[in-house]
Structure 1
Amino acid sequence: MLAFCVDTAAHYQEAAEITESVSLQYAKPENVVVAGMGGSAISGELLKDWARDKTQVPIEVSRDYMLPAYANERSLVLVMSYSGETEESLSSFLDALKRRCMIFCVSSGGSLLEFAEKLGVPYLRVPSGIPPRAALPYMFVPLLRLMEKAGIVSGVSGEFSEAVELLARVSGENSPELPVKGNFAKMLASGINGRAPVVYGFGVYRSVAQRFKQQFNENSKVPSKWEFFSELNHNEIVGWEKAGNLAECFSIIILRDKMESDVIRSRIETTKVLLPSGSKMFEVWGQGKCALARMLSTVCIGDFTSVYLAILGGVDPTPVENINLLKEKTKLVGAKERVKRELAELTGSR
């Protein structure tokens, strides 16, 4: 996992090259639904936050077996599954076909691309053999490119160039060769070690906070949670009032930005005063000028931190044993096989 962090900029650059010739032969959609789970779905969350002030076309992320009720022939459904075998994604693919949605699939292979090819659904095949959570560049960049091709957003190239340049610098500043002193990700990992991380974001950092949480779960093998401003000021802060000694079990990480609005800055600073003294508090400040660069560089710091925290805990960040165990247990229900049978029937009828 550490190698993927070190080579982050190169992976984003490769993803851009792979998606250079991608085409989308659909009319401009009324709405966009990104259907996926886990490491594939977070790409949709990042897209949703980044595009929020750039388009009037609603973008939603669906983490379920079925699409939202409004999805129809005027909806663009982007089915995301790195492995191509995620049962919820396959089920959403089937649902999108039944509703005659505009569909595009992104995967490294598996059943998703097998059926997409047979059914004549456009798709992009990305490099295989990567842990899904480390494949973020190959799942996120296609979404940016597709949104631009669909006329939903513009100006991707300029922001992307800055992001890749910044990612190369941030990766170097947090590389394993550098000692703890002067290596922000190592210092953060050392600071939160032994406590459950609680990550607070806002605005474009809402999904970044979610990514931090997921990486702490899967890489570091620790419980973690995430919240965002200003929603957390309407519930989360009350939960700390009587935390007592329980607060000592948590480290709070607040994602910050020099361009944050006055009202958000005021809320963050006031919240810091209200946090219990027993908890440890850290801040991660976004870098870069454009939103995409600030988001992805902060994601990079979170990725590095989660791997260093795993190393401090003496665990291998790569395996995800409980996820594999759950997949084996739920396989007995037969949901995935039922979906694949229906897809095969559709293939035979076309």
Structure 2
Amino acid sequence: MTTVLDNPEKIKQIDKSNMLNDLAKTPDYCRDAIERAKQVNVPEGVNPKNIVIVGMGGSAIGGELLQGWLREKLPIPIEICRDYTLPAYTNKDTLIFANSYSGNTEETLTAFLTAIQRKCTVITVTSGGQLAAFCKKLQVPHVLIPSGLQPRVAVPYMFFPLPVLMQKLGILSDIEPELQEAIAVIEKVAKANAPAIPLNKNRSKQLATKLVGTMPVIYGFRQYIAISHRLKAQFNENSKVPSKSDAFPELNHNETVGYEAPEALNKMQSIILIRDSREPPEIRNRIETTTDLVLTRANKVLEIEAEGDGKLAKMFSVLCLGDFASVYLAILQNKDPTPVDIIVKVKKELAKKSGMKERFDSELSKLG
């Protein structure tokens, strides 16, 4: 079968900003992120009672990945804050990671300033902007990462510094083997799904081909809830299609009833189930029962099987495959995956109305 996905020249014409090349560099970004975090001096004597990771979009997903990975490992609660306001409980016993790729995300900057006022321990990850300027003037530890990437491509820089910093703070230990296995699996998946690998041997191309003309609906569980959110966002931003995500077992208490909708509506959806060879029996039973009784009403039911041994490696194996699939789906629709024109327009309109930039500039000037 002839497909545009096996035509390198046509791919280059559509993928004008070469996002596929950025995806291929993901393992290098992971290694660089780790090394940059290792160079950061962190405060001593930090013993947080809770951790809050502040960020939006691609800058928030790193925190969500951390939360999912450590859910059954770390006794300290982790919360993701995708808003201007911090939870009321945040105080001097809170560790705040403020992630903003651009450094100019108004929600993150607002929450960052609140964290400083509440005397939280604050560490940031950014490529520059006003957040980096605040960190320099306030002497807040920060991981400075490369600029010039799309924030969603920079997820390695938004995730890998966090566990490294937590190890430096004494919150985590012995993480190196898990981090290195994750990078090795990312490298393997990236090579197996590269543009040069033909459709008949390329799982990401196969997945994208099956999704054409439908809305991807991704279902995960536990640590894969973050991955389902990531894939949903990638189909939105890269593929330029509606998408949604949900999680077992919660979806059995509400989402499944939605499949009583008219057949024509159900047939617009393609279900993607994230699977794991070691998934708990109670979750496996729910996935299989729900598929048999409900999900077959959709256009199709597809599965992504996690690869690797450790939890983190498995998470990133699915993430990496989904990233490639979202770009291939864009190419199949003759869409350049990189531009996000609507997001840019919304931000510009909000900037005109909010006055946030002027407020942050004023705050910076007060610091001298």
- Alignment TM class, shorter chain as reference: over 0.9
The amino acid that maps onto 2:42 is L
**Secondary structure of residue in 1 paired with 2:282:** helix
Please list the CA deviations of residues 237-283 of structure 1 after superposition, one character each: whole Å capped at 9, or x if unmatched. 01112342111111110000001010000000011012243421100
The CA deviation at 1:22 is: 2.4
| Alignment pair present for 1:123 and 2:153 | no
Moved more, 330-339 or 284-293: 330-339
| Alignment pair present for 1:21 and 2:39 | yes
Match of 1:331 in 2: 351
Match of 2:309 in 1: 289
**Secondary structure of residue in 2 paired with 1:132:** coil
- Whether the aligned pair in 2 keeps the contact of 1:241 and 1:276 (CA below 8 Å) is no
Using the alignment, how far apart are the partners of 1:52 and 1:150 within structure 2?
19
The CA deviation at 1:341 is: 4.5
Query: Over the residues paired in the alignment, what is the CA RMSD in angstroms?
Result: 1.3
Match of 1:40 in 2: 59
TM-score of the superposed pair, with normalisation by structure 2: 0.92
Match of 1:144 in 2: 163
Using the alignment, how far apart are the partners of 2:298 and 2:109 within structure 1?
45
Please list the CA deviations of residues 113-140 of structure 1 after superposition, one character each: whole Å capped at 9, or x if unmatched. 0011011111110011110000011111
Match of 2:258 in 1: 239
- Whether the aligned pair in 1 keeps the contact of 2:99 and 2:124 (CA below 8 Å) is yes
2:328 counterpart (308, 311, 314) = 308
Moved more, 13-22 or 26-35: 13-22
Using the alignment, how far apart are the partners of 1:137 and 1:95 within structure 2?
26
Please list the CA deviations of residues 186-212 of structure 1 after superposition, one character each: whole Å capped at 9, or x if unmatched. 000000111010000001101000000
2:186 counterpart (136, 158, 167) = 167
- Whether the aligned pair in 2 keeps the contact of 1:200 and 1:228 (CA below 8 Å) is yes
Shift of the 174–250 alpha-carbon distance from structure 1 to 2, 3 Å rule, reads same
Match of 1:10 in 2: 28
1:258 counterpart (266, 277, 281) = 277
Aligned pairs for 1:153-302 within 5 A:
153-273=172-292, 274-302=294-322
**Same amino acid, percent of matched pairs:** 45
The amino acid that maps onto 2:306 is G
The amino acid that maps onto 1:36 is G
Using the alignment, how far apart are the partners of 1:78 and 1:152 within structure 2?
14
The amino acid that maps onto 1:282 is L
- Whether the aligned pair in 1 keeps the contact of 2:259 and 2:297 (CA below 8 Å) is no
Using the alignment, how far apart are the partners of 2:247 and 2:185 within structure 1?
25
Please list the CA deviations of residues 72-118 of structure 1 after superposition, one character each: whole Å capped at 9, or x if unmatched. 11101111100000000110111111111111111000010001101
- Whether the aligned pair in 2 keeps the contact of 1:37 and 1:81 (CA below 8 Å) is yes
The CA deviation at 1:346 is: 5.3
- Whether the aligned pair in 2 keeps the contact of 1:82 and 1:106 (CA below 8 Å) is yes
Report how many aligned residue pairs link the two structures: 348
The CA deviation at 1:152 is: 2.1
Moved more, 14-23 or 114-123: 14-23
Using the alignment, how far apart are the partners of 2:77 and 2:331 within structure 1?
40
The amino acid that maps onto 2:241 is V
| Alignment pair present for 1:88 and 2:103 | no
Please list the CA deviations of residues 211-238 of structure 1 after superposition, one character each: whole Å capped at 9, or x if unmatched. 0001001100111000011111111101
Using the alignment, how far apart are the partners of 1:157 and 1:271 within structure 2?
38
TM-score of the superposed pair, with normalisation by structure 1: 0.97
**Secondary structure of residue in 1 paired with 2:95:** strand
**Secondary structure of residue in 2 paired with 1:252:** strand
Note the residue ranges of structure 2 that are not aligned, 5 or more in a row.
1-18
Using the alignment, how far apart are the partners of 1:22 and 1:344 within structure 2?
23
The amino acid that maps onto 1:302 is G
**Secondary structure of residue in 2 paired with 1:19:** helix
Using the alignment, how far apart are the partners of 1:182 and 1:58 within structure 2?
42
